[in-house]
Chains A and B, each alone.
Chain A
Amino acid sequence: MQGFGKFLETFFNAEVAARYLPDILSGMAVTIGVGLAVTVTGLAAGLALAILRAMGRGWMRLPIVAFVDILRALPPLVLIIIFFFAFPMIGVEMSAFTATWLALSLVLAAYAEESVWGGILSLPRGQTEAARSTGLTWWQTMHAVILPQAIRIAIPPLTNRVIAVAKNVALGSVVALSEVLNLAQSATSAAGNPTPLTMAAAAYLVIFIPAMLGARRLESRFQWRT
């Protein structure tokens, strides 16, 4: 019983929790903000790359495939560290926000390109042919016939990926991005008590469990009978 009391006092210390709640909340705002920014830019860039690849100009295909491969192979933490610590040495200064946002956007763009491209590839050729036979241009066919279907196919793998990449905002703590984990670590050393770390874990759950449930709803909503 005494052991349990000590456990509670250590990880769920109400006094410490109350003192650092404002910090944690401001960290949550940063985490959510960076996560949303990464989602928007990453998905948009991934979609644009998939469309470029579908346009099928030979010289564009190789750099896109290389980009996707490299960003799927590189650990995101390595990217963040290179952007934040190495780029200033060649005169490109980046804030912790920019480094984290840029690195994670690039990573998400690579995965999104792969998913959307997979969706495009899985569609029968007849879809394009039917659309073109009624006089639609390449762009109109892409926009009205191919992408709506390809994106629906890409949504289940993409929702999981978006959440996985957005969770990596926590990696920003390594370059002192003032998201939840970073603030919680400072608070833990200041308070001499790990309750802020518990709060950080809880804060991430509060952000990402609804995100996961939302993703599941989105997946079922975007299914259409086949």
Chain B
Amino acid sequence: MDALLTNFFNVGVFKQVLPFLLEGLLTTLGLSVLVIPLGLAGGLAVALLATQGNRLARILVAVYVDLFRALPPLVLLIFIYFGFPFLGIDLPKLLAVALGFLLNNAAYYGEIFRAGLASVPAGQMEAARSTGLTRGQALIHVVIPQAVRNVLPDLLGNSIEVIKLTTIASVVALPELLRIARDAQSLVYNPSPVVLAALIYLALLWPLVRWLSRLEHKNLVAE
């Protein structure tokens, strides 16, 4: 019991490292605020190409989605970060991470948006076009808003996964929460900082998970 308290919940260590970990948390949040909107935009583009594009575009998008859903994001990130310098292209960490996340997330968000677009009855587009709206206007004002609303729980769920995924940026030494915690662990020779990081992730994500659970449950009852 004592060993557990000293090593996992060492209050002295907690106090010592908390300010640094909070800085790491800010980086994690900043990273999330960067990569989630990027992924959403990329995903919407992927979904529109998959549903509205020509045959070639659809095939390319299908291949892209399958490839990047099969490839673990850490493999992708390491490939970009450690592979590109061999070509003489030195990507800054943040850019490498953002690029890896964009490629990965656009595939996942794309699948979600595609399901959303498919859930809107064709009559909606027809009704909008019959009142003189262009295809683009009909998409923006009529179809996409309904599509998004229908897949809101999935979008939230995937965004939670993306926030959790930001931990892989620690592998390329981007100073987000997990990286800072691991560095602190080796400095103080005590794993309490990583435990504290886990608690911070919990505090950040538990409310979102609860919210998601409720949204999913509500859908279940409504159906």
Contacts and interface: CB of A to CB of B under 8 A. Distances in A.
Contact of A170 (B69, B72, B205, B223): B72
B83 A198 contact: yes
Given A69-B206, A77-B167, A168-B72, A82 B220 contact: no
Interface string A159-203: 000011001111101100000110001001000011001101100
Interface string A79-93: 101100110011100
B198 A69 contact: no
Interface in A61-100: 69-70, 72-79, 81-82, 85-86, 89-91
B195 A86 contact: yes
Nearest to B171: A174
A73 B223 CA distance: 27
Q: Which of B69, B70, B83, B194 has the most CB of A within 10 A?
A: B70
Nearest to A78: B198
B164 A76 contact: yes
Contacts of A209: 66-67, 70
Contact of A205 (B67, B197, B210, B220): B67
Contact of A194 (B74, B75, B76, B82): B82
Interface string A104-147: 00000000001000100110000000000000000000000000
Interface in B168-223: 168, 170-171, 178, 182, 185, 190-191, 194-195, 197-198, 201-202, 204-206, 208-210, 213, 216-217, 220, 223
Contacts of A180: 75
B201 A75 contact: yes
B209 A82 contact: no
B220 A122 contact: yes
B82 to A, nearest CB: 6
B164 A75 contact: yes
Interface in A45-74: 69-70, 72-74
A86 B202 contact: no
Contacts, number: 141
Interface residues of A, number: 50
A70 B202 contact: yes
A89 to B, nearest CB: 4
A204 interface: yes
Contact of A73 (B66, B167, B205): B205
B83 A90 contact: no
A9 to B, nearest CB: 10
Contact of B75 (A7, A170, A211): A170
Given A10-B87, A11-B83, A89 B191 contact: yes
B7 interface: yes
A208 B71 contact: yes
17 contacts: A69-B206, A72-B209, A73-B206, A74-B202, A90-B3, A90-B4, A170-B72, A170-B75, A171-B72, A181-B78, A188-B83, A197-B75, A197-B78, A201-B75, A201-B76, A208-B71, A209-B70
Which 6 residue pairs spanning A and B have beta carbons closest together? A86-B191, A208-B70, A73-B205, A170-B72, A75-B164, A194-B83
Interface of B: 3-4, 7-8, 66-67, 69-72, 74-76, 78-79, 82-83, 86-87, 160-161, 164-168, 170-171, 178, 182, 185, 190-191, 194-195, 197-198, 201-202, 204-206, 208-210, 213, 216-217, 220, 223
Interface of A: 6-7, 10-11, 69-70, 72-79, 81-82, 85-86, 89-91, 114, 118, 121-122, 163-164, 167-171, 173-174, 180-181, 185, 188, 193-194, 197-198, 200-201, 204-205, 208-209, 211-212
